[in-house]
Amino acid sequence: MKVSQLTMNGERTVIMKHLTTYQGKKVLVLGLAKSGVNAARLLRKLGAQVTVSDVKPLAENQDAQELQNDGFTVITGEQTADLLDPGYDLVVKNPGIFYDVPVVKRALADKVPVISEMELASEVAEAELIAVTGSNGKTTTTTMIQKMVDHDRRAGKAVYAGNIGIPASRVAQAVTADDTLVLEVSSFMLVGTTTFHPHIAVLTNIFSNHLDYHKTRENYVAAKMKITANQTADDYFVVNFDSPELRELSEQSAAQVVPFSREARSQAGAYELNGDLYFKDEKLMAASDIKVPGDHNVENALAAIAVAKIKGVSTAAIVAVLRSFGGVRHRTQYVLEADGRQYYNDSKATDMEATEMALKGFTAPVVLIAGGLDRGYTFEKLVPSLKAHVKAVVLVGQTAKLLEDAAKKAGIQTIRLSENVETAVPTAYELSDAGDIILLSPANASWDQYPNFEVRGDRFIKAVEQLTGKQEEK
């Protein structure tokens, strides 16, 4: 059965799978923001009796106010265990809420199912699902896959959603059987899944992340592996074979394992060999022709190639995407070229590891703009990367002096301090020569001067546009 409903602006939202599972069920949605709001609205369409709870006070909570005006039962303030007193059949939890908060602990103790918005979305989506997880590279890989699978498509469209910033439960209602839904899925989302079943699952890598949430690395790995838990022999599991751990983990999957490897550890899938990218026996392109720099982006590209080839995407389409894709916004994003200088926005680099990775992606000399919130650590770890890749630095924010010390230890002679990212751009230009890279990769959070890394990156791009008289390439 298909259900359609006209929205206020006249557009038609379609729930392609009408589930009776939630009809008449009492559901508590914990945590709002985009995922909670969309989950609540979807659950109501599916016939559930929905109560929403958010810690932010009602007077300051626009999402809660709008839901209340639309007739939802809304509870704001501390999420204590007695929230469950009315009795609920299900809890849909915002991924960011820890499992050890009282209300969630009680739900689990009372055997009330606790799921994520991603689980709900996957149940109603008519489209084929491709899901991407991993400690790093999820967003870039998800975007590459979407662009490849959508390129020269004859029927339907490929769209992305999920942890990439677009609520999966909203998009899942609008896609049809002709479409492909590419989902970026975090470990937080995967913990709350039981039936989640992508046709193609991708695991980019696993590091020791989010242990405050998962408590142990074993729990974190188990969460990641839920991406393939419900797959069958008719499905595909795309895995990074450069990691011995992931090679071993792939044996747990019932799906067809398709490896990717920058080190050519396997030639049964996508791999790099002698500077070229292959899928099985077919050479596709030179790795150096990928527009976004860095070995990590070669890995992301190989994962995307594997998925695209499974989907029957042509080599020409794959190459066209990789040669033109300038990166995800704020993640080593190519901005533009002017006067022989290339400008890159890596504002998402809020720690030293991310800046190290960005610097390793460049062979040309780099003029680096860095600095931001002081979290109480120094930057000795950055010294080798600064020494190897950076000709000059322009430093901003609370950590400018600390980064100056690291730059001096790296032997960098040209060091300038600037008021903020906007004033740093013309200074970086003055210190550069034709052929150089001008890179914003702060190695710090933005909160000393900007509300978030997105605003910081946007300000950088605007300053570059004002300096060069050119527009950001998209």
Q: What is the CATH number of the domain that holds 347?
A: 3.90.190.20
Is-contact 261 204, C-beta < 8 A?
A: no
Sign of the four-CA dihedral 347, 353, 357, 362: positive
Looking at residue 344, its pLDDT comes to 97
**What whole-number distance in Å separates Cα of residue 322 and Cα of residue 137?**
15
Residues 124 and 93 in one domain: no
Residues 97 and 126 in one domain: no
Residues 254 and 159 in one domain: yes
Polymer length of the chain: 474
The residue among 281, 298, 324 that closes a domain is 324
- Strand, coil or helix: 168: helix
Is 399 annotated to bind ligand? no
Is 294 annotated to bind ligand? no
Residues 219 and 128 in one domain: yes
Is 452 annotated to bind ligand? no
Residues 26 and 99 in one domain: yes
**What whole-number distance in Å separates Cα of residue 410 and Cα of residue 416?**
15
Residues 197 and 306 in one domain: yes
Residues 133 and 102 in one domain: no
Looking at residue 152, its pLDDT comes to 87
Is 326 annotated to bind ligand? no
Residues 318 and 410 in one domain: no
Please identify every stretch of the chain with a pLDDT value under 50, giving residue numbers as ranges: 1-16
Residues 123 and 97 in one domain: no
Say what the pTM is: 0.85
Range of the domain at 17: 3-115
Q: Tell me if 69 is assigned to some domain.
A: yes
The residue among 88, 115, 142 that closes a domain is 115
| Per-residue model confidence as pLDDT tens digits over 380-415 | 999 999 999 999 999 999 999 999 999 999 999 999
Give the number of domains in the chain. 3
Q: Tell me if 232 is assigned to some domain.
A: yes
Instruction: Return the CATH number at 261.
Output: 3.40.1190.10
Place of tokens 């690395």: 217
Is 111 annotated to bind ligand? no
Is 283 annotated to bind ligand? no
Instruction: Return the CATH number at 45.
Output: 3.40.50.720
Q: Tell me if 472 is assigned to some domain.
A: no
Q: Tell me if 109 is assigned to some domain.
A: yes
**What whole-number distance in Å separates Cα of residue 200 and Cα of residue 311?**
9
Phi/psi of residue 428, nearest 5 degrees? -60, -40
Residue among 228, 230, 46, 41 nearest 124 (CA): 46
**Runs of H (alpha helix) within 209-287:** 211-214, 217-225, 244-250
Q: Tell me if 473 is assigned to some domain.
A: no
Q: Tell me if 227 is assigned to some domain.
A: yes
Q: Tell me if 474 is assigned to some domain.
A: no
Residues 147 and 219 in one domain: yes
The residue among 115, 132, 166 that closes a domain is 115
Place of tokens 């609540």: 40
Q: Tell me if 72 is assigned to some domain.
A: yes
Residues 187 and 302 in one domain: yes
DSSP-derived secondary structure for 303-345: HHHHHHHHTT--HHHHHHHHHH---STTSSEEEEEETTEEEEE
Is 462 annotated to bind ligand? no
Residues 111 and 123 in one domain: no
